[in-house]
Amino acid sequence: MSIIILIPGLLAIYVALTKSPQKAFLNVYIPVVFFLPTYYTWKVAGFPDPNFQQITILPIIIIWVLRGMQGWRFSFIDIMVFGYAFAVGYSEYSHVGYSESQNFIANGIAGAVLFPYILSKSLIEPFNLREQFAKQVVITLVIVAILATYQSITFSNFTIWQKILGRFFGGQGWIWSTQYRWGFPRSSGPYGHAILAGIIMVTGYRIQRWLEWSRIWPAHIRQLSWLPISPARFFTLILLMGSLATLVRGPLLAAVIAAFIPLIGYTKKRWLVVIILFIAIVIISVPAITWFMNYVSVDPESVETKSHQTVIYRWQLIINYIELAKEKLYFGWGRLKYPKVNGQGSIDNHFLLLFLKHGIIGLGFFLAIMFTMMIRLFVHSMSQPPTELPGSSLGFTLLSLYVIMLISLATVWMGGQTLHLFFLITGWSEAYLYAKHETITTNSTTTNSTILPTKFQFQRTFK
């Protein structure tokens, strides 16, 4: 029954061959990434067990290579991305051998790191598809947010995705049951855990805000003519609802902080704004650090609130695991081989977990990717003139997505589709920096109405 996993792969082959790898990437792969769970796989004896995402992107990248790798150009960040992939893959292989690591290498490295990075770098900006890419992400996440209300409204222990797809995959996926906070179910959608859903939803929200501020969406969409508000505002509110329904603290805090980044582009006096923000951060940080150290330096048994216990738990994770990580400094302990501290089996910090599993080399490459891209996006965006439409700077928006990731990953591991998301953003950002233009390529604001065809294939009008 799990052979149904081949369906999106076959569709990707058809679209890539009859139309183009770009269309297959946008209209098949992107919806599959964000709409279907990664925890369902097809068990194939002697081969890596593909999930929906892997089986969909593989034919696209093969056809893209056979057609000459259009849009690809080498850049320095490639060394970091491929270095990260090698370090993590070698770490796992060296600890458990190929037979035990093949699924991780195929799905977790090739399928979630290298292929998304390569294709997003090659097929979005070089083909002037930034708005279409952003729209596909937003539309898919809007649908996910609406369907995810099933979990919130019914208080079901499982999502609608598990209810429908679970029957095809036997016992797979049922470990992801609903988490609760303050007595309410936390929406997790097709992402396994609510906090992963939170990261993806707030990222989608920021992308939608860029689309809205850039006036990419048409004023009227025939299928949504019943709405009392504009389609752009409707999508924004749905993604805001989807973000809040996850009841996550880390990603929502990250979203609030990241919201200030696009605002820097509103004024010509950007450096003055940055200096003021920097001074404010320094002034706030000194007492905040003192308060935090006092907050976490107490016996967790003596505190009454669950949230206080959670903060203490995450602080103690760093204290207890950092020395264990140093014992296998270069390539770590492997995904399943690291020793666990009693009472702290869940390591809710991706940076610490990456250090522990794959050593300082894996962590170093990952941090190098993140901070190199953040610095380059910041410098580039600060050097650009203010955009005609306030908030429409793609550079500042992409920078805000990294801020969301940076803060969020200090509270959770990078699991499920968040890994795909990070490297899709990285490929897109790298190509954007080489494109060296802020202006949009569509002129949707002049269109009074439009029709949304199947597969969300948005029509473009070039200037």
441: pLDDT strictly greater than 80: no
pLDDT of res. 438: 64
The helix/strand count (H/E) of the chain reads as: 19, 2
Which tens digits make up the pLDDT trace of 167-194?
999 889 999 999 998 889 999 999 999 9
What percent of the chain has a predicted confidence (pLDDT) above 70? Answer: 94
- For residue 98, the model assigns a pLDDT of 83
**What is the DSSP code string of 362-377?**
HHHHHHHHHHHHHHHH
| Whether pLDDT at 35 is above 90 | yes
Q: Hunting for tokens 């903060």 — which residue is that?
A: 311
pLDDT band at 440 (very low <50, low <70, confident <90, very high): low
Q: Helix 250-258 to helix 394-408 angle, to the nearest 10 degrees?
A: 150
Give a yes or no: residue 282 inside a domain: no
Residue 452 has pLDDT above 80, yes or no: no
In a domain, 34, yes or no: no
Number of domains in the chain: 1
pLDDT at 216: 94
Q: 248 or 306, which is more confident?
A: 248
Identify which of 216-220, 264-268, 286-290 has the greatest average pLDDT.
216-220
pLDDT of res. 149: 92
Residue 69 domain flag: no
Does the pLDDT at position 235 exceed 50? yes
Whole-angstrom distance, CA of residue 87 vs CA of residue 109: 10
- Report yes or no on 83 lying in a domain: yes
Enter the pTM of the model. Answer: 0.91
pLDDT in the model for residue 439: 54
- Average pLDDT of the chain to the nearest whole number: 89
- Over range 221-246, report the average pLDDT: 91
pLDDT band at 27 (very low <50, low <70, confident <90, very high): very high
Measured CA to CA, the distance from residue 427 to residue 317 in angstroms comes to 32
pLDDT band at 33 (very low <50, low <70, confident <90, very high): very high
Average of pLDDT values for 438-463? 42
Task: Give the residue, 296 or 106, on which the prediction is more confident.
Answer: 106
Cα gap 284→274, rounded to integer Å: 15
So what's the pLDDT on residue 413? 86
pLDDT digits (tens, 9 = 90+) for 288-328: 888 878 777 777 777 767 778 778 888 888 888 998 999 99
| Residue 446 pLDDT | 36
Range with the poorest average pLDDT among 21-30, 81-90, 157-166, 408-417 = 408-417
Residue 139, pLDDT above cutoff 70: yes
In this prediction, residue 304 carries a pLDDT of 67
Domain span at residue 367? 74-267+317-456
Q: Look at residue 67 and tell me if it is in a domain.
A: no
Encode burial over 379-393: b for 16+ CB neighbours within 10 A, e otherwise.
ebbeebeebeeebbb
| pLDDT tens string 327-358 | 999 999 988 888 888 888 788 899 999 999 99
- Name the H helices within 47-193: 52-66, 76-96, 98-103, 115-123, 130-147, 149-154, 160-165
> Which comes out higher in pLDDT, residue 284 or 370?
370
Does residue 448 surpass a pLDDT of 60?
no
What is the residue whose two structure tokens read 């370090």? 87
* Of the candidates 330, 420, 425, the residue with the CA atom closest to the CA atom of residue 88: 330
Q: What is the predicted pLDDT for the residue at 449?
A: 34
Q: What gap in Å lies between CA 408 and CA 201, rounded to an integer?
A: 12
Residue 62 in domain = no
Burial (0-12, 13-18, 19+ Cβ within 10 Å), 332 = buried
CB-CB neighbours of 163 under 10 Å = 12
180 inside domain: yes
Q: What is the predicted pLDDT for the residue at 400?
A: 96
pLDDT > 90: percent of the chain: 63
The pLDDT assigned to 404 comes to: 96
Residue 274 domain-assigned (yes or no): no
